[in-house]
Amino acid sequence: MAEESETTGRDHDGEIDHPVFAALYDLIPQSLFLRTHREYLARDLSGRVLEIGVGNGAMFPYVVEGASDDLEYHAIEPDPNMRSRANRRARESGLSVDLQDARAESLPYRDDTFDVVLSGMVFCTVQDPDAALAEVARVLKPGGEFRFLEHVGTDGWRRSGQDLLNPVWEQAAGGCQLNRDTVDRFADRDEFAVAEIRRLEFGIFPVTPFVRGTLCRRREPPV
């Protein structure tokens, strides 16, 4: 059996296994402040769609609401505690999901597979965000959309507070980083054109601000 690391909460051989965080995540009354933004992610979904880091399946009811008849929904989640919850939520929501045990940094799909890739508060937690973004670009069809909602690092005294709290926070919140500059990372990729990136002044310190947006997979790299 794998030995657990005291500092990362992960096994030395790399497993992601956070039973307490998964149980607590169920208790957060997210619909109060995330409903509109989850609706943004789930708007007009059709074709082949992938959700990365699906967690407990909180997106599923929103996906069902707006789903077209030809929707084929795929999802990945590396934490078994989250995956079992997501499977249950899929059954309760009546959503047919092909849910795989995988990480965003190494997606088990061919190039140019998906029309849309969704990510809700995942890039704060993935271990290698640049590799994950490259994988999202690889599996998206040219012209496909990457839609995201993420909490990010802020500035000024709040940023200093996030930096200070981060070591404790990542232990308690399944590896989540409070102070990642995710927007810069998203805006800088050659594979994507930015359709929209919007900063949202909501959330409760230290989990604020949020950004949401849509990147479009370019058909050709920029010259």
Ligand X SMILES: C[S@@+](CC[C@H](N)C(=O)[O-])C[C@H]1O[C@@H](n2cnc3c(N)ncnc32)[C@H](O)[C@@H]1O
CB of 173 to ligand X, least distance (A): 7
Nearer to ligand X, 131 or 216 (CB): 131
What is the distance between the alpha carbons of residues 132 and 125, in angstroms, rounded to a whole number? 11
**Token pair belonging to 27:** 């208790």
Nearer to ligand X, 54 or 95 (CB): 54
CB of 120 to ligand X, least distance (A): 3
Nearer to ligand X, 129 or 144 (CB): 129
Nearer to ligand X, 55 or 153 (CB): 55
Q: Which residues bind ligand X (CB under 6 A)?
A: 16, 52-55, 58-59, 77-79, 82, 103-105, 120-122, 125-127, 174, 176
Position with the least CB separation from ligand X: 55
CB of 37 to ligand X, least distance (A): 10
Nearer to ligand X, 62 or 192 (CB): 62
CB of 222 to ligand X, least distance (A): 28
CB of 190 to ligand X, least distance (A): 22
CB contact at 8 A, 136 and 52: yes
